[in-house]
Amino acid sequence: MTTTPRRYHITTFGCQMNKADSERMAGILEDMGFQWSEDPNDASLILYNTCTIRDNAEQKVYSYLGRQAKRKHEQPDLTLIVAGCVAQQEGESLLRRVPELDLVMGPQHANRLKDLLETVFDGNQVVATEAINIVEDITKPRRDSTVTAWVNIIYGCNERCTYCVVPNVRGIEQSRTPEAIRAEMEELGKQGYKEITLLGQNIDAYGRDLPGVTETGRHLHTLTDLLHFVRDVPGIERIRFATSHPRYFTERLIRACHDLPKVCEHFHIPFQSGDNDILKAMARGYTHQKYRAIIDKIREYMPDAAISADAIVGFPGETEAQFENTLKLVEDIEFDLVNTAAYSPRPGTPAALWESQLSEEVKSDRLQRLNHLVGVKAGARSQRYFGRIEEVLVEDQNLKDPNQVMGRTQGNRLTFFNGDIGELKGQLVKVKITEIRPFSLTGVVI
Ligand code: SAH
Ligand code: SF4
Ligand code: F3S
């Protein structure tokens, strides 16, 4: 078949940053005349936007890539791209491993996809992994949802958590200006979007690389100031933000979330471990007492706030007693959700070189025990919704039941109820909660 236009496919791995980057890259490709193909095998341009946070995420990429590389031998006009965090981590060596690749591009280069592809179409194999100042968005993203949208506010991370590849692959912190962020949100509001999630790996660091300080020496641009600045964007009904770092979390921020009606009472604050020695070895910069104090403060202002977190089990040297301190923290705090992971040694990170690595058996045993407790606690926490009236922003049909729609409460609980998606998509609907599960709810419209 020689029919034009060319079709593209993107597979996205990893976190919300990658999803946001993929949406922008898709926008660029459509601007260049490419059309989306759901099936990668019908596409003549395939882009893998990759994640390397843990080894299993990285390995997944190679198996996907292997299949398409083979296809390239029968279809030489196939364009193969690896973008994202594996691309940044591996750089040139990816070309040696998979010579069929046309383009290897790090996350900072996402907005440059058009330029890079033009060089590829001129007959070059291209690696773009040098550190650059991220160019402002020039193209309209092709967003997956018409209801909720991501808006990056800060790229990169300047922390040095000893287990984490993110600073290596995402580079140093680069904040967007409040004006650029607000302009993007206003555009989204005009297009009918209702909910925005502001994104950053360490969102509390927002603005510290922007010029300007107040009379008291505080940075002029903080996340709290930004929330005030964007609180009234027309059409936007809900504002969320992620991910928070306990080290920088402030009471001022808590107050803003309490005072600004559109900012959801929903906090994602990873604790990683409940043990002070492990936290220290991770270089997290806080103790479990400080973490608990933050949660107490949030609940003082907003007793019902939804609180989620991330945790790692089996960090090098973690003893059974230290692991139990993590269980204890989860037991005490009663999170709405905890994303858990077994520690995975990552290239270029200090902890990967330590001799105190634990066995896979110990790690997976701890992971199971923690997951069990997280489920029990989330189930208990879900109970508070029973019989309550919640406002649900309808996002989509329930894939398992076409008579139902699905959306989220302002606390981010997935909620299903009977309704017609054609009529309800993008609406805020009052729903009485009639069924409780640990991580989702069912209700009826009132
Ligand atoms: N910026 C966020 C987290 C980004 S990575 C923060 O500071 O909390 C997302 C999650 O992946 C982390 O919270 C952590 O729980 C997990 N993670 C990161 N590196 C990991 C590793 N080497 N092994 C296992 N889990 C890891
Ligand atoms: Fe990784 Fe730590 Fe930065 Fe989070 S704050 S992205 S865990 S280095
Ligand atoms: Fe993965 Fe990169 Fe995100 S490593 S978790 S996609 S920042």
Q: Is residue 328 part of a domain?
A: yes
H/E element holding 118?
helix 113-121
- Rounded to the nearest 5 percent, the helix, strand and coil shares of the chain are 40, 25, 40
- CA separation, residue 84 to residues 33, 150, 366 (Å): 23, 17, 30
For residue 138, is pLDDT > 80? no
For residue 218, is pLDDT > 90? no
Nearest CA to ligand 2 atom 5: 159
Q: Which pLDDT score, from 0 to 100, does residue 4 have? A: 66
Tens digit of pLDDT for each residue in 175-208?
999 999 999 999 999 999 999 999 999 999 999 9
265 confidence band (pLDDT: 50, 70, 90)? very high
CA 46, CA 391: separation in Å to the nearest integer? Answer: 39
Vertex 35, ends 34 and 39: CA angle to 5°? 125
CATH number of the domain at 159, please: 3.80.30.20
Q: Is residue 100 part of a domain?
A: yes
For residue 444, is pLDDT > 60? yes
Q: Is residue 142 part of a domain?
A: no
Residues with a CB atom less than 6 Å from ligand 2: 157, 159, 161, 164, 166-167, 201-202, 245
Q: Is residue 138 part of a domain?
A: no
Q: Is residue 133 part of a domain?
A: no
Q: How far is CA 339 from the centre of its chain?
A: 12
Residues 223 and 326 in one domain: yes
Residues 70 and 217 in one domain: no
The pLDDT of 118-142, averaged and rounded, is 90
For residue 98, is pLDDT > 70? yes
Nearest CA to ligand 1 atom 11: 53
Query: Beta partners for 266?
Result: 306
Q: Is residue 299 part of a domain?
A: yes
For residue 346, is pLDDT > 70? yes
Residues 420 and 379 in one domain: no
For residue 3, is pLDDT > 70? no
CA 164, CA 351: separation in Å to the nearest integer? Answer: 9
CB of 17 closer than 6 angstroms to any ligand 3 atom: yes
**Which token pair is 84?**
């994202």
Of 128, 163, 182, the residue at which a domain comes to its end is 128
Q: What is the pTM of this model?
A: 0.95
In this structure, are residues 100 and 75 in contact, taking their beta carbons and an 8 Å threshold? no
- CA separation, residue 214 to residues 46, 230, 244, 248, 363 (Å): 48, 19, 23, 18, 47
Q: Which pLDDT score, from 0 to 100, does residue 87 have? A: 98
Q: Is residue 238 part of a domain?
A: yes
Residues 89 and 156 in one domain: no
Nearest CA to ligand 2 atom 2: 161
Residues 265 and 317 in one domain: yes
To the nearest whole number, what is the mean pLDDT of the chain? 95
Q: Which pLDDT score, from 0 to 100, does residue 216 have? A: 81
For residue 278, is pLDDT > 70? yes
Annotated binding-site residue? 157: yes
Of 383, 416, 435, the residue at which a domain comes to its end is 383
Residues with a CB atom less than 6 Å from ligand 1: 53-54, 163-164, 166, 201-202, 243, 245, 270, 272, 310, 312, 341, 343-344, 346
Query: Beta partners for 307?
Result: 267
Q: What is the dihedral of CA 424, 427, 428, 429, to 10 degrees?
A: -20
Residues 392 and 441 in one domain: yes
CATH number of the domain at 116, please: 3.40.50.12160
CATH number of the domain at 440, please: 2.40.50.140
- Ligand 2 center–CA 417 separation, angstroms: 37
For residue 2, is pLDDT > 60? no
78 confidence band (pLDDT: 50, 70, 90)? very high
Q: Is residue 329 part of a domain?
A: yes
The pLDDT of 276-298, averaged and rounded, is 98
How many CB atoms neighbour CB 32 within 10 A?
A: 17
- Ligand 1 center–CA 2 separation, angstroms: 45
User: What percentage of the chain reaches a pLDDT higher than 90?
Assistant: 94
415 confidence band (pLDDT: 50, 70, 90)? very high
CA 29, CA 43: separation in Å to the nearest integer? Answer: 13
How many domains are contained in the chain?
A: 3
The pLDDT of 293-307, averaged and rounded, is 97
Residues 192 and 329 in one domain: yes
User: Quick one: which ligand is closest to 363's CA?
Assistant: 1
- CA separation, residue 182 to residues 133, 196, 229 (Å): 20, 11, 8
Residues 309 and 407 in one domain: no
- Ligand 3 center–CA 53 separation, angstroms: 6
Tens digit of pLDDT for each residue in 17-59?
999 999 999 999 999 999 999 999 999 999 999 999 999 999 9
Atom of ligand 2 nearest to the CA of 245: 5
Q: Tell me which residue range forms the domain holding 32.
A: 7-128
In this structure, are residues 22 and 49 in contact, taking their beta carbons and an 8 Å threshold? yes
- CA separation, residue 273 to residues 82, 111, 115, 322 (Å): 33, 35, 43, 8
Of 383, 402, 436, the residue at which a domain comes to its end is 383
For residue 271, is pLDDT > 60? yes
Residues 252 and 365 in one domain: yes
Residues 212 and 354 in one domain: yes
Residues 240 and 261 in one domain: yes
Residues 94 and 175 in one domain: no
CA 338, CA 327: separation in Å to the nearest integer? Answer: 12
Q: Which pLDDT score, from 0 to 100, does residue 135 have? A: 80
